[in-house]
Chains A and B, each alone.
Chain A
Amino acid sequence: MATTKAEELAKKQREISVAEFFEKNRHLLGFDNKRKALLTAVKEAVDNSLDACEEAEIVPEVLVELIDMGNERFRVVVEDNGPGIVKEQIPKVFAKLLYGSKFHRLKQGRGQQGIGISASVMYAQLTTGRPARILSKIAPNKPANYYELKIDTITNKPLILGDEAKEWDKPHGTRVELDIEGSYLKGLQSVDEYLKETAIINPHVTITYVNPKAEQIIFPRASEQMPKQPKEIKPHPYGVELGILLKMMSNTEFRTLQAFLTNEFSRVGPGTAKEICEKALVPPNTAPKKVSRDDAEKLINAIKETKIISPPTDCISPIGEELFEKGLRKEVNAEFYCAVSRSPTVYRGNPFQVEVAIAYGGNQQADGSINLLRFANRVPLLYQQGACSIYKSVTQTNWKPYGLQQSNGALPTGPVTIAVHIASVWVPFTSESKEAIAHYPEIIDEIRLALQEAGRRLQTYVHKKHRVKNQLERANLFERYIPEVADALARLTGESKDKIVKHLNEMIKKKEIQEEIMEMESLKGEADDEKADDNGNNGNGNGEKD
């Protein structure tokens, strides 16, 4: 009997491993091109290091080294003083995609999905064929563990190529070495820029950076003060989608729907849970595992119709105005700095908080657009500026009242750096590579309010600066006029010019005269009232010429 078409096709159908999928879709993870790949490899490793240090409450010290191996290949070395990783976990953390501590909880952090660093490892083996080399130590009295790792892209399991104990003079920490294909360029989307911005947004971090030219750059910390550890929270019903609800219901330990709602969500008490169930016409004592897809959809609709208090916002860990300003101050040379932290608020059941810092003047370029720095959960965003709600908020804000020039719908121009940070338990990125923040109206509004507040502080400074400049010009003006007036007076009266100059120069230091120089509104009481006569000159002797 001939095989059916379906049977024939079935021979070709097989499971695709996650690793295989990402191998073919590496742009989703930020490895679209060689330049970006280098940045992404550094970024994923540094993000992990910082998250680990902060969780262990260790003031982070990170070494980043890029070694040019020729032929567009680089060795990326990232070393931290973090808590280290226990021996058994090392292969899984670095060589298994979607393995991590962060995906199953709602907590503000740099990483979210647990794919970043293992994707880098995979990219390394894909482009250079070399394994990742990991060295990690968890305590001063224990040896360091050394691994050479690859990923089995079919099974998504670690391939251990080397495993030994080593001496390491660090008390604790982790060192990652990856050989990857990449290209090193300076500029706005470079490793250099990423590290500089990381230093701004993490003022408690010291980064030592050795670039491919073997030049060492140190970004010293501005503060020993660690960020407050963000709290883990349960999801808020408003942010839950159908798929997630179904998954949560099938995984829960609670036996009734009411108990499930009360215990697995934030801000839901037994009363609210009952109300949701009644509105959805699903009995509160139904076993969650037995709720049908249709009923789940009714529950989602019922949640939307029920008033539920906003989630707690103390789970957010902002940088704070003082530290944000310090961070900007140490990396951007300007003459004026200010920072604004808004109060936390909520979009779709997810708490978030917006912070803005501005640096004005100094060495910054005066013509051309301002320098916009975007951050999400303390990570710099370097790509897809135009698609980001931060960009949208900045361009939609009217900067003219704050003393900056701006064409309609564009970034303002001037010697200014504007840094915007969004902290949230769940930052809504537009894609997996986490480059731009989605356009939620609540987020755009909050950013705008923060920008306006910072703008007003900027305005005060810019105006004051103009005033001081005008005062200097005035004092200067009088000084220039003095010899001229003295000369004319001397010719008119025969008095000594030098004496008149001397007197006038003394007068300029007097209090009343200084007040006149300082006075803004000095245009009152001019001698002639010419404006009224603007059109009356036609018949008199003015303007006669040869």
Chain B
Amino acid sequence: MPEAKKEAAANADAKKELIKLGYSVIDDIKKGKNPHIELSVRGLSNVVYDKQSKTLALGDKTAQRFFFNVAHSKKFLQTIEIASITKALLDVNKHASLRDVFYMAKRTIPNTKINVVDEQTESDKAIEDLELITGYSRENLNVNANKMGSVAGKVVVEDSGDTIDWSKLGSGGWSIPSNVENIKFKKVDAKYVIYMEKAAVWERLHEDKFWEKQNCIIMSSQGQTTRGIRRLLQRLSSEHKLPIYVLADNDPWGWYIYSVLKFGSISLAHMADEMAIPQVKFLGITCDDVINYDLKRHFIKLTDKDISRLKQMQNYEWFVKHKEWQRQFKMMKDFGAKVEIQALSSKGISFISERYLPEKIKKQELLD
């Protein structure tokens, strides 16, 4: 079945699930029962680490959200409200961003000072809930994340009828769309992919033509790894068998970016099979790099928040028996400090592209 048709079918099914949700609530109301929505518990307590697939999966704990319950009532309203918004999007076959959805839901309830949603995180959560309830991803509900990432490399793709050469897009590279399901790879000429959390580092490597010299793909996002990027990485890994290396800051948050890519995220554990890329490897910055490349001078003291985050990661099931990572955690704890990728620039502006990365990849100094 062609991609576009497959998507249309998924959209139609997602819409059916949304309407089904509406009727289950109306059923309760007609029976005089406290209207409720049933959904899986999200969060660490209901996340299972599958040792075989090496990914996170959602457990079978479910919870009920009631309308006539002070603590649930507003969330109940938000869930139903967002469901009707996404259903309307599917009706007219248009796409909206997460921010759009937030504004579509945001309004003040008459005669009160209460808004249906106050912050975008609330509507975002509601969409994640709907993914759980319907079993379809946000993309199938016609809600897109924003284009946040850039990519460059010797790759040619076809997107919505246009042919795009990733090596001929100037200084900005190609903007990764939020939905990459319909992209077709025409040509892929690369030995590996480097994914980095920082756009500034990507710009450095792009200016140095690192992808050309090393015959690889460089990809970045601004901070968080959007789903479009994760899906693209996953397709490059599974369809083209390219190794994927992660370049992130030497701190708990940078390392968690790696963890999410490799194992899946805790809050999106329900989509782990679609999202996780178990083949991903961590390139740097490791605590060994800090010593080997003499970066101690650029230490930034760990905050209390950093330290508690580090402790949490140490205890994650997927790290707890991993000797190498436990060693890294301990080293960082002993340092009591973290280092940013850009610290490498102190050795020279192109030190990262000319020495650090080539050396690391040649020696295959990677953490699994």
Whether a CB of chain A sits under 8 angstroms from the CB of B232 is no
| Nearest chain A residue, comparing its CB with the CB of B268 | A540
Instruction: Find chain B residues with CB under 8 A from A477 CB.
Output: 70, 73
Whether a CB of chain B sits under 8 angstroms from the CB of A533 is yes
Contact B146 A546 (CB under 8 A): yes
Whether a CB of chain B sits under 8 angstroms from the CB of A231 is no
Chain B interface residue bracket vs A: 35 or more
Contact B268 A541 (CB under 8 A): yes
Instruction: Find chain B residues with CB under 8 A from A466 CB.
Output: none
| Nearest chain A residue, comparing its CB with the CB of B25 | A489
Whether a CB of chain B sits under 8 angstroms from the CB of A186 is no
| Nearest chain A residue, comparing its CB with the CB of B32 | A507
| Nearest chain A residue, comparing its CB with the CB of B66 | A516
Contact A516 B74 (CB under 8 A): no
Contact B77 A484 (CB under 8 A): yes
Contact B112 A532 (CB under 8 A): no
Which of A508, A510, A513, A527: most chain B CB closer than 10 A?
A: A527
Contact B84 A489 (CB under 8 A): yes
Whether a CB of chain A sits under 8 angstroms from the CB of B168 is no
A525 to B62, CA, bound (A): 10
Minimum distance in angstroms from A507 CB to a CB of chain B = 6
Picked from A525, A536, A545, the residue with its CB within 8 Å of the CB of B64 is A525
Instruction: Find chain B residues with CB under 8 A from A541 CB.
Output: 98, 124, 138, 145, 224, 226-227, 268
- Return the CB mask of B71-84 against A: 1 if under 8 Å, else 0: 11111110011011
Which of A478, A513, A522, A544: most chain B CB closer than 10 A?
A: A544
Whether a CB of chain A sits under 8 angstroms from the CB of B198 is no
| Nearest chain B residue, comparing its CB with the CB of A523 | B71
Instruction: Find chain B residues with CB under 8 A from A488 CB.
Output: 77, 80-81, 83-84
Contact B34 A542 (CB under 8 A): no
Contact B41 A484 (CB under 8 A): no
Minimum distance in angstroms from A309 CB to a CB of chain B = 60
Whether a CB of chain B sits under 8 angstroms from the CB of A500 is yes
A504 to B80, CA, bound (A): 15
Contact A478 B73 (CB under 8 A): yes
Picked from B21, B39, B309, the residue with its CB within 8 Å of the CB of A492 is B21
Contact A539 B111 (CB under 8 A): no
Instruction: Find chain A residues with CB under 8 A from B42 CB.
Output: 528-530, 533
Minimum distance in angstroms from B246 CB to a CB of chain A = 11
Whether a CB of chain B sits under 8 angstroms from the CB of A70 is no
Contact A543 B72 (CB under 8 A): no
Picked from A489, A528, A540, A542, the residue with its CB within 8 Å of the CB of B22 is A489
Q: Which of B155-163, B208-216, B253-261, B286-294 contacts A (4 or more CB under 8 A)?
A: B253-261
A506 to B298, CA, bound (A): 66
Instruction: Find chain A residues with CB under 8 A from B110 CB.
Output: 480, 483
Contact A507 B68 (CB under 8 A): yes
A527 to B129, CA, bound (A): 10
Contact B77 A539 (CB under 8 A): no
Contact A526 B77 (CB under 8 A): no
Whether a CB of chain A sits under 8 angstroms from the CB of B300 is no
Contact B37 A527 (CB under 8 A): yes
Instruction: Find chain A residues with CB under 8 A from B83 CB.
Output: 488, 492
Whether a CB of chain B sits under 8 angstroms from the CB of A537 is yes
Instruction: Find chain B residues with CB under 8 A from A480 CB.
Output: 109-112, 114
Interface residues of A in 459-493 (CB under 8 A from B): 474, 477-478, 480-481, 483-485, 488-489, 491-493
Contact A542 B109 (CB under 8 A): no
Contact B69 A522 (CB under 8 A): yes
A504 to B44, CA, bound (A): 35
Minimum distance in angstroms from A488 CB to a CB of chain B = 4
A528 to B125, CA, bound (A): 10
Given contacts A491-B84, A493-B23, A529-B46, contact A544 B267 (CB under 8 A): no
Whether a CB of chain A sits under 8 angstroms from the CB of B349 is no
A223 to B80, CA, bound (A): 62
Given contacts A492-B19, A500-B29, contact A545 B121 (CB under 8 A): no
Give B contacts to A, CB under 8 Å: 18-19, 21-23, 25-26, 29-30, 32, 34-35, 37, 39, 41-46, 61, 63-65, 67-77, 80-81, 83-84, 87-88, 97-99, 109-112, 114, 116, 120-121, 124-125, 128-129, 138, 145-146, 148, 224-227, 253, 256-257, 259-261, 265-268, 308-309, 312
Give A contacts to B, CB under 8 Å: 474, 477-478, 480-481, 483-485, 488-489, 491-493, 495, 500, 503-504, 506-508, 510, 512-513, 516-517, 522-523, 525-533, 535-546
Rank and list the top 7 A-B pairs by shortest CB-CB distance, nearest first.
A539-B260, A529-B43, A492-B22, A493-B22, A527-B65, A532-B44, A491-B84
Seed contacts A481-B109, A541-B98, A542-B125; 7 additional CB < 8 Å A-B pairs = A484-B109, A512-B34, A516-B70, A525-B63, A527-B129, A538-B253, A544-B148
